[in-house]
Copies of this chain bind each other. A is one copy, B any other.
Amino acid sequence: MSIKIGIAGYGNLGRGVECAIKQNPDMELAAVFTRRNPESVQILTEGVPVCRIEDAGEWKDRIDVMILCGGSATDLPQQTPALAKMFNVIDSFDTHAKIPEHYANVDAAAKEGGKVSIISVGWDPGMFSLNRLYANAILPDGKDYTFWGKGVSQGHSDAVRRVEGVKDARQYTIPVESSLEAVREGKNPELTTREKHTRECFVVLEEGADAAKVEEEIKNMPNYFSDYDTTVHFISEEELQKNHSGIPHGGFVLRSGKTGWNGENSHLIEYSLKLDSNPEFTSSVLAAYARAAYRLSCEGVSGCRTVFDIAPAYLSEKSGEELRKMML
């Protein structure tokens, strides 16, 4: 008996979840839900229906876990609590500052419905958060560092696209290698925003746009670029398509800490990701946590959880016995 998964929202993330389900033999895709006209949505899996998100309620007894693939800005704050009453749900809510509020809303809804919700699943928040927690618990006397990249920042790419004269753009966030090395060497540097990351923009100009003015405006944009060393490259639309159409990302979580009676020994814990496709990796994490939600629900658990609350064994298809034998 496989776990029946519903996908709510069919963009890059939803498609990624569909691919992840194909890789997990204990899961099957039951239905995809969309706000668009279902007939206009072409999915990859044969024989699986695409339905209107408004009709999700009709699937209450035919879906074990609904994976929400909307955006954190406006979709998830509404959708997760609404669907959490009817389904076990997983989301990738990533507005760090609003997690406590989102958690409270989803928890109330999930308890009302007697269902399990797991929020903020992915890699940051998600796997990076887990690594921060483990490393802090092990090395209480230490210092945390998170570097992102090299990867495409959707938010920063959008910001560049809003500059007058810009037709299209892609922005890469890049960790400063020398700072990363200083952390690895146990130097515990205090790093400014500028010392942690650089930003690189590939920009396609509108015809007749003033390149110098565009570059100036990008580099001085508050919040997004003014605190960073930013490089701007002007390229053709063809070049952007050819060399910058992927959505790679990744990053590093490090903790350097001391042990010993007088803190005489140093240690470095480092976790890193190098991802060809940010949404597909996030989707793969979502799928693993869907398995956990299903199992917890079978045990009678209800309410909201995060990656911090889920014992790792729940993520694996293998039994406890197999895990102890093969992976411990």
**A residues adjacent to B (C-beta < 8 A):** 16, 18-20, 22-24, 44, 96, 99-100, 103, 120, 125, 127, 129-134, 136-141, 184, 259-261, 265-277, 280-281, 283-285, 288, 291, 306-313, 315-317, 320-321, 323-325, 327-328
A259 engages B277 (CB within 8 Å): yes
Cα distance, A133 to B325, chains bound together (Å): 12
**13 examples of A-B residue contacts, CB within 8 angstroms:** A22-B261, A120-B328, A127-B134, A130-B312, A131-B271, A133-B327, A137-B315, A138-B284, A138-B315, A259-B276, A265-B280, A267-B274, A310-B312
Whether A261 contacts B313 in the complex (CB less than 8 A), given A273-B268, A284-B139, A324-B306, comes out as no
Question: Of B103, B140, B274, B280, which contacts A260 at CB under 8 A?
Answer: B280
- Report how far A127 CA is from B276 CA in the complex, Å: 26
Residues of B within 8 A of A130 (CB): 134, 312
Are A133 and B270 closer than 8 Å at their CB atoms?
A: no
- By the criterion CB–CB under 8 Å, are B309 and A320 in contact? yes
Q: Are B273 and A267 in contact (CB under 8 A)?
A: yes
**Is A133 a contact partner of B313 (Cβ separation < 8 A)?**
yes
Given A23-B141, A267-B281, A134-B327 contact (CB < 8 Å): no
Stoichiometry (number of copies): 2
> B316–A137 contact, CB under 8 A?
yes
Pairwise interchain contact A312-B133, C-beta atoms closer than 8 A: yes
Among A259, A261, A284, A317, which residue has the most Cβ atoms of chain B within 10 A? Answer: A259
Decide: B277 and A19 in contact? CB cutoff 8 A: no
A14 to chain B, nearest CB (A): 13
Q: Complex formed: what's the CA distance from A277 to B266 in Å?
A: 8
Question: Do B270 and A272 have beta carbons less than 8 Å apart?
Answer: yes
Q: Please name all residues of chain B whose beta carbon is closer than 8 Å to the beta carbon of A260 when the two chains form the complex.
A: 19, 277, 280
B307 contacts A132, C-beta separation under 8 Å: no
| CB neighbours of A266 from chain B (8 A) | 276
Q: Do A327 and B265 contact each other (CB < 8 Å), given the known contacts A260-B280, A312-B307?
A: no
Distance (Å) between the CB of A306 and the closest chain B CB?
6
* B residues near A280, Cβ cutoff 8 Å: 259-260, 265, 267
Neighbour of A285 across the interface among B138, B265, B283, B315, CB < 8 A: B138
Across the two chains, which residue of chain B brings its CB closest to A289? B137
A307 vs chain B, min Cβ distance (A): 7
Q: Which residue of B lies closest to A124 (CB)?
A: B328
Extra pairs beyond A265-B276, A267-B280, A271-B271 (18, CB < 8 Å): A16-B259, A18-B261, A20-B259, A100-B325, A125-B328, A127-B269, A133-B316, A133-B323, A134-B312, A136-B327, A259-B284, A265-B280, A267-B274, A268-B273, A270-B271, A306-B324, A307-B312, A312-B312
- With a cutoff of 8 Å between Cβ atoms, the chain B residues found around residue A323 in the complex are 133, 306, 308
Bound Cα distance from A19 to B96, whole angstroms:
34
Nearest 7 Cβ contacts at the A-B interface: A137-B315, A265-B276, A259-B280, A308-B313, A265-B277, A268-B274, A137-B288
